[in-house]
């Protein structure tokens, strides 16, 4: 803690433990304590720690060809772009690679300006990143207010409210950006017809529909992107987190006419789509397919949703696949998070009464069962003090 405070800025506060190693869904700290990792780098380590396929791919690539910049092509960036294109089911899809979700959303924002319009509609409590453009899209006043003035022309409306969206979207709207399932707000699932309604409103007004799949993407919900349940396609998909399996890798995928908006020189990223990160991305997708992980996500996710709902003190459990949010009866989420850590499980409390779970997609059923027991005891211990 002292070393952290002497050398790092205080934007994260000071961590209470130092993690030194990990294997699968188990991590170890510098004191030798082990933990079930049910946050996975905030939904990033989709194959857990030290997955053999990722280790092999990254090791081989860094020994073969390092960074080359986007002045030149290389095999991995071509193959991964083609793979993502295929995953969208749309041959018109074109990919821009970057390093994070915030960067992917910044790219989407810039793309929307190429429509000749600048007004944007986003949602209250959304999270799209912390860079100035992405922060302008984010609907959380506590994160926005200290850094005003932000970008103008962005209107925030309640998430899941189709009527509010219909009223907000006009012929002057460049884009609408939403998360298929809100992540940081506490894993909020919209009404089943919400995304379909947004598609119609955007089509009626000539606005781009952007799905921020940074947290829902790469199999976390049991589907590749997390919007598939809606039966519609967006104009833009933003990805990151799980795409690199722990390495920094993001993507902004534009479909249809949106895919031709950027011209040479309009946008760029020094490290975007570099050989090492894209090697990891290819290994992640191949492993998810080979190990039939999407089916596993459905099975373990269904177990957790059912079992966690039975725990006294939990008033609601929601989500899809292995993106799960819990609402607690009392505002003790931070205390429960601390108690779980003391008992050997890492989770996240995005609100006073809200818990977020996002374990590796290959977490075992036995580990899920162990987690339920730890969480149940932790909540009981906090609420019965």
User: For 335-357, how does the pLDDT look when each residue is reduced to its tens digit (9 = 90+)?
Assistant: 999 999 999 999 999 999 999 99
- Measured CA to CA, the distance from residue 228 to residue 142 in angstroms comes to 31
Q: Evaluate if residue 143 carries a pLDDT over 80.
A: yes
The SS3 of residue 36 is strand
Report the chain's mean pLDDT, rounded to a whole number. Answer: 97
What pLDDT does residue 216 have?
Answer: 97
Q: Annotated binding site for pyridoxal 5'-phosphate: which residue ranges?
A: 101-102, 127, 270
Whether 2-50+292-383 and 53-290 share one fold: the answer is: no
What pLDDT does residue 383 have?
Answer: 83
Calculate Rg over the CA atoms of the chain: 21
Tell me the percentage of the chain whose pLDDT exceeds 90: 99
- Return phi, psi of residue 37, to 5°: -90, 95
Tell me the percentage of the chain whose pLDDT exceeds 70: 100
pTM higher than 0.75, yes or no? yes
Give mean pLDDT, residues 205-228.
97
Q: Annotated binding site for N(2)-acetyl-L-ornithine: which residue ranges?
A: 130, 269
Contact 359, 44 (CB under 8 A): no
Give mean pLDDT, residues 114-142.
98
CATH 3.40.50.920 fits 2-50+292-383, yes or no: no
What pLDDT does residue 305 have?
Answer: 97
CA-CA-CA-CA dihedral for 238, 240, 243, 246, to nearest 10:
180
- Measured CA to CA, the distance from residue 323 to residue 363 in angstroms comes to 13
Q: Evaluate if residue 384 carries a pLDDT over 80.
A: no
- Measured CA to CA, the distance from residue 15 to residue 157 in angstroms comes to 34
The SS3 of residue 69 is coil
CA-CA-CA-CA dihedral for 238, 241, 243, 248, to nearest 10:
110
Structure tokens at 241: 């987190």
Structure tokens at 243: 């795409």
User: For 153-200, how does the pLDDT look when each residue is reduced to its tens digit (9 = 90+)?
Assistant: 999 999 999 999 999 999 999 999 999 999 999 999 999 999 999 999
- Measured CA to CA, the distance from residue 247 to residue 18 in angstroms comes to 19
Q: What is the CATH number of domain 53-290?
A: 3.40.640.10
Structure tokens at 362: 């290959």
What pLDDT does residue 385 have?
Answer: 52
CB atoms within 10 A of CB 86: 12
Domain ranges of the chain: 2-50+292-383, 53-290
Nearest to 220 by CA among 370, 25, 42: 42
Q: Annotated binding site: which residue ranges?
A: 101-102, 127, 130, 269-270
């Amino acid at each position: 803690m002292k070393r952290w405070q002497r050398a790092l800025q205080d934007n994260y506060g000071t961590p209470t433990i130092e993690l030194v190693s990990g294997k699968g869904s188990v991590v170890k700290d510098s004191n030798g304590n082990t933990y079930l990792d049910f946050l996975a780098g905030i939904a990033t380590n989709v194959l857990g720690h030290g997955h053999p396929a990722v280790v092999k791919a990254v090791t081989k690539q860094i020994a073969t060809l390092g960074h080359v910049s986007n002045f030149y092509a290389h095999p991995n960036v071509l193959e991964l772009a083609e793979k993502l294109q295929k995953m969208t089911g749309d041959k018109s899809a074109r990919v821009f690679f970057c390093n994070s979700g915030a960067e992917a959303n910044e790219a989407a924002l810039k793309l929307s300006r190429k429509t000749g319009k600048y007004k944007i509609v986003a949602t209250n409590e959304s999270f799209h990143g912390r860079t100035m453009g992405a922060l302008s899209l984010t609907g959380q006043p506590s994160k926005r207010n200290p850094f005003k003035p932000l970008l103008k022309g962005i209107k925030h409306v309640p998430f899941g409210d189709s009527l509010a969206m219909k009223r907000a979207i006009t012929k002057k709207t460049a884009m609408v950006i939403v998360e298929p399932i809100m992540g940081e707000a506490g894993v909020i699932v919209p009404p089943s017809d919400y995304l379909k309604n947004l598609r119609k409103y955007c089509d009626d007004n000539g606005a781009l529909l952007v799905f921020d799949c940074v947290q829902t993407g790469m199999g976390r919900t049991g589907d590749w992107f997390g919007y598939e349940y809606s039966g519609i396609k967006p104009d833009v998909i933003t990805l990151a987190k799980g795409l690199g399996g722990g390495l920094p890798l993001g993507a902004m995928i534009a479909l249809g006419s949106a895919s031709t908006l950027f011209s040479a020189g309009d946008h760029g990223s020094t490290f975007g789509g570099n050989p090492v990160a894209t090697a990891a991305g290819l290994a992640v997708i191949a492993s998810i397919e080979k190990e039939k992980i999407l089916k596993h996500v459905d099975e373990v996710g269904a177990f957790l949703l059912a079992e966690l709902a039975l725990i006294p003190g939990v008033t609601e459990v929601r989500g899809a696949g292995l993106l799960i949010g819990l609402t607690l009866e009392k505002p003790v989420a931070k205390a429960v998070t601390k108690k779980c850590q003391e008992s050997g499980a890492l989770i996240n409390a995005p609100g006073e009464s809200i818990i977020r779970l996002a374990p590796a997609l290959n977490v075992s059923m036995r580990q899920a069962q162990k987690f339920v027991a730890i969480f149940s005891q932790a909540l009981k211990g906090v609420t019965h003090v």
